[in-house]
Structure 1
């Protein structure tokens, strides 16, 4: 059931909720956002370092993309189960757990810079932490929210800013700071210590969230969720995977010596534009329902531009494609989250959000798939990107068409019920 619309107040998520006792901005709101920010930082700081691990550590293309995708192995189970943690222990305790887990992941990756297996374990730990932060943090913000539609935007912006700043900082440190395989992760560990202290001292609800098992089993998810939101989800983070894992190697030869900095720049650019796109959606609430459709359209356009960039090795076209993909990511993410909030049955918001993120992060497998197709079947990057764009178009149009047919059939059935129940008796005058 969608949350009823309310008049924006001083406690709306656009302006942090205020303490009843002091009238000051509620520290709980900032604590939840900070926790989501640092776990997102940890999840994406590895991305601009891919080129460094290729060139300085001798890792193969498949190896580095597998390490990029490794945190999805921990992320997906976490996304699917995190709402149950909130149902059992409330929202604060899982967030208190998530931040140190993210720090542990950074420690393992830094310690295993010559050991891919240890790095894989660290990336998995980072993924578990990010999954908890995404789902439980989103539920915590939703419980603090008094206005429909604002909690999903705040959640998306907290994550996007963490992804962006984490990647930008890691790229800069890897390019110019000493010990490039260690320094970025040390900085993240320090930030995690601060985030853990904030969330541990917060008053985030420790009450169990509403998640009755019988109600979950009894209440089906909306058909529109399966046919509109689910087909859109894989392209959310697929856009980012293309923007800063597929595009940088295309022009690596043109930017010798500045590979890490350029990768960090693409991360910061694409995510920064996605962040501002999410802010724009919040300022135009009447058009927020179109965010998912516009975001998907931009994903297709950006992927086609990336295909042309792969064929021409143009630095400027790479930057343009990453920019369009970043905006597409931002709009698709906030659009899908708002669709979930509007249509979620009682007790099912965490489940729906978890599934969106779970399918969304499968999109980070696109760089690995592209590398595998190239090494195994000599399929060029341009061809793979064209296939991806076509798949996005076909799956989403198919979902919309099926939903339209289903709704028309339901409407026809509803109209036919009274007609079927009407019996004409001869000799009886009507009306």
Structure 2
């Protein structure tokens, strides 16, 4: 008598093996999210310390904002090249490298607290690590997920939670712990050790193989990406640059020695609200597109509120502006990443994601630009922020209008 066919039952012939594969995949997912979390922590832990370096170390406003922007110098090349590195070397190697690089950045900043050049080098190392974590980590999550929208949302939430917790812990340690220029970076280095162990013990090899360079088809990127996503990207981290590099300095004289704690609080508030906003973004195309549009509108509204705060020097207006900017950041980031996943031709997701992050991080140059305009031409913060809001509204409206005209001509 013939034995019944196992396949006909619709069950796995080896449920134990399937369970083991699922467990390994869950462990890998956790390890990748953890790596993204710790490199994001390192990227943002410096932000609440700006006021401390300005008041206690005697650094100028331009100097501290330049150090804030310094990691973008390492970040942008890393974002542009990381997906190619993953195609050649696989995902595991770059991720294993990213976490120690982030720890090295913390060590250099802590050791060089009186040496801006050494701090600049440390911030650059942090930026390189963050770029690898963003792009390669995102590609790894995408390769592990079969549910549309899950990977972009997990990527955005891992980064946002790392940004938030790093800033909050750093601000608290700088305010109340001994050795405020060292303690935050020691904590991050310890977290990097844990993250390195997790990622080294996992096997983040993609379920869907990345195309090698020789086989990658250079498909042109969609017009919708250029006209809708690209104009929104610079305001992702531009919103955060305003929220916790410009707003705290507006009311610094009213904080009675609690400037570091207040800066950390603004970081936690804006990023925490951004994290919650990302948590509730749907995975459908319609809702992800709406997230980007609503996010940009909120960034404009938050920038206008920041201009009002600069004019009134009100602590409560500063808090309100940071809250709106944080939600705008969260929605714009996850909306742009979801649009990249939806629009990307075969083999181009890494390129599109890298460009979004590159343009996004250029927004962190806003505090430096505003400080330079104020110092060189005596242009007030209020007037500059009003111009920033107008630029955000104009660029995104122009992109949407051009896309509408292009579509009408094609039809």
TM-score by length of 1: 0.89
Please state if 1:341 is matched with 2:341: yes
Tell me if the contact between 1:100 and 1:192 (Cα under 8 Å) persists in the aligned partners. Answer: yes
Q: Aligned residue for 1:12?
A: none
TM superposition shift of 1:243: 0.1
TM superposition shift of 1:90: 1.0
Aligned-partner Cα distance in 2 for 1:19–1:108: 45
Please state if 1:296 is matched with 2:296: yes
Tell me if the contact between 1:32 and 1:140 (Cα under 8 Å) persists in the aligned partners. Answer: yes
Tell me if the contact between 1:86 and 1:209 (Cα under 8 Å) persists in the aligned partners. Answer: no
TM superposition shift of 1:89: 1.1
Equivalent residue runs for 1:23-422 within 5 Å = 24=23, 26-205=26-205, 209-213=209-213, 216=216, 218-282=218-282, 287-411=287-411
Higher-Rg member (1/2): 1
Tell me if the contact between 2:301 and 2:324 (Cα under 8 Å) persists in the aligned partners. Answer: yes
TM superposition shift of 1:142: 0.3
TM superposition shift of 1:117: 0.2
Deviates more, 1:84-93 or 1:319-328: 84-93
Aligned-partner Cα distance in 1 for 2:103–2:302: 33
TM superposition shift of 1:329: 0.1
Q: Aligned residue for 1:21?
A: 20
- Alignment deviations for residues 253-301 of structure 1 (CA, whole Å, 9 cap, x no partner): 1102100000000000000000000001048875222000000000000
Tell me if the contact between 2:231 and 2:395 (Cα under 8 Å) persists in the aligned partners. Answer: yes
Q: Aligned residue for 1:424?
A: none
- Alignment deviations for residues 175-209 of structure 1 (CA, whole Å, 9 cap, x no partner): 00000000000000000000000000002107894
Give ranges in structure 1 of 5+ residues lacking alignment: 1-17, 412-431
- Alignment deviations for residues 105-127 of structure 1 (CA, whole Å, 9 cap, x no partner): 00000000000000000000000
Aligned-partner Cα distance in 1 for 2:117–2:180: 19
Tell me if the contact between 2:302 and 2:321 (Cα under 8 Å) persists in the aligned partners. Answer: yes
Q: Aligned residue for 1:423?
A: none
TM superposition shift of 1:353: 0.1
Tell me if the contact between 1:292 and 1:332 (Cα under 8 Å) persists in the aligned partners. Answer: yes
How many pairs align? 394
Q: Aligned residue for 1:418?
A: none
Tell me if the contact between 1:311 and 1:382 (Cα under 8 Å) persists in the aligned partners. Answer: yes
Aligned-partner Cα distance in 2 for 1:90–1:252: 47
TM superposition shift of 1:40: 0.1
Instruction: Please give the secondary structure, in 2, of the residue aligned with 1:21.
Output: helix
TM superposition shift of 1:368: 0.2
Aligned-partner Cα distance in 2 for 1:322–1:372: 22
Tell me if the contact between 2:285 and 2:342 (Cα under 8 Å) persists in the aligned partners. Answer: no
Q: CA RMSD in A?
A: 1.6
Aligned-partner Cα distance in 1 for 2:309–2:86: 44
TM superposition shift of 1:92: 1.1
Question: Which aligned runs of 4 or more in structure 1 are off by greater than 6 angstroms?
Answer: none
Instruction: Please give the secondary structure, in 1, of the residue aligned with 2:211.
Output: coil
Instruction: Please give the secondary structure, in 1, of the residue aligned with 2:228.
Output: helix
- Alignment deviations for residues 6-49 of structure 1 (CA, whole Å, 9 cap, x no partner): xxxxxxxxxxxx96327647211100000000000000000000
Give ranges in structure 2 of 5+ residues lacking alignment: 1-16
Instruction: Please give the secondary structure, in 2, of the residue aligned with 1:347.
Output: coil
Aligned-partner Cα distance in 2 for 1:311–1:156: 33
Structure 1 residues 22 and 74, CA gap change in structure 2 (3 angstroms):
closer
Structure 1 residues 331 and 189, CA gap change in structure 2 (3 angstroms):
same
